[in-house]
Chains A and B, each alone.
Chain A
Amino acid sequence: MDYYETLNKRIRQFFFPSLTPQFLIRALLVALFAYLFFGHICIPLRIKGYSMEPTYHNGSVNFLWKPHYLFSGPKRHDVVAVRFAGNRVMLLKRVIALEGETVEFRNGRLFVDGGEVKEPYVRYPCNWNLPPRQVEKNCVYVVGDNRNMPIEDHHFGQASMKRIMGIPLW
């Protein structure tokens, strides 16, 4: 009987804790940590749209890992989040060329500095043609994986490094 009473008390204490100063401090610290971690370091995001199909699907959930580029810059084939004015709305794109490189599409095939770059993540047929252009300083060239649409309808191009927020966690 004593055992059940103690268990009952513990369960009650777990779900309805006494508002002691220690409990309030603990709750405040947890809330502060959650705000900092999920608000500024590992931001939850929901993917909307089809520009990264089939790598990332419309409606899926992920986290944006911001510290990834603290000590190094983006590399080719990295998937990155490009911000607009802030953290609320971002574009998920793949880096295909780095600063100083010349990027070009010929019949859907990617050419960087004149050499063809294989893109295993592009699964859908593509017939894009884009004249060569050089990526400016402190910029990267980003494109979505889904090229199964006219080039005019796809949102892609050169993004400033300042706009690169991080990478999706998976």
Chain B
Amino acid sequence: MVKIKYWIIALLAVAMGIGAAVYLFPRDVRKVKKQFNLLSEWVSKDLGENTFTLAHKTRSLSTLFTEKFEIKTEIESMSGSYSPEEISSYAARGRLMFSYLSLSFHDLDISFPEKGIAKVVLTARLKGRSTAGENFDETHELECILRKIGKKWLFSHVEIVEVLKK
């Protein structure tokens, strides 16, 4: 009898834990985070990555963006609108210049200002080595807007936040 009581308490504790997890991390938040994980995975490049993986990653990358994806940076030549195909093509060309590339996202602050729109402020870190052997390590704060199209959250706008203003 005592054992049954303990089992019930344990089950209640587990149920409360699951409930808290669902409450604290709603489905949309998890879906938005997943998009960032995919972006990080598909932009990153391992040493000696084969052509098949390269093709898979660059093709998959285009599925993360809306038809008109906008970038806003201090660098005028980079700012503007891009189609998913253009992003794929730039990514493929860009990856050839690097032997190793790692994109990671930290401190994601996700909010939903309107229905179907997610605003994410985060720190993005891009590390890598060029084919010429030059190392680089760039960190920026980004403000991203994702739109829910169908059941998927797609990147629609990215702006680089100026942390230090010269």
| A-to-B contact residues, CB < 8 Å | 48-49, 82, 84-89, 91, 93, 130, 142, 155-159, 163
Contact = CB atoms under 8 A, between A and B. Distances in A.
Contacts of A48: 137
Given A82-B164, A86-B107, A158-B165, 6 more contacts: A84-B107, A85-B123, A86-B106, A88-B106, A89-B139, A130-B166
B163 A89 contact: no
A88 B125 CA distance: 11
B125 to A, nearest CB: 6
A85 B109 contact: yes
Nearest to B139: A89
18 contacts: A49-B137, A84-B106, A84-B123, A84-B139, A84-B141, A85-B107, A85-B109, A85-B122, A85-B123, A85-B141, A86-B107, A88-B106, A88-B123, A155-B164, A157-B164, A157-B165, A157-B166, A159-B165
A163 B125 CA distance: 18
Across the A-B interface, the 6 shortest Cβ-Cβ residue pairs: A86-B107, A157-B164, A88-B106, A84-B123, A157-B166, A84-B141
B107 A142 contact: no
B164 A156 contact: yes
A89 B109 contact: no
B107 A91 contact: no
A163 B121 CA distance: 14
A87 B106 CA distance: 9
Contacts of A93: 164
B68 interface: no
B140 A84 contact: yes
Interface string B29-51: 00000000000000000000000
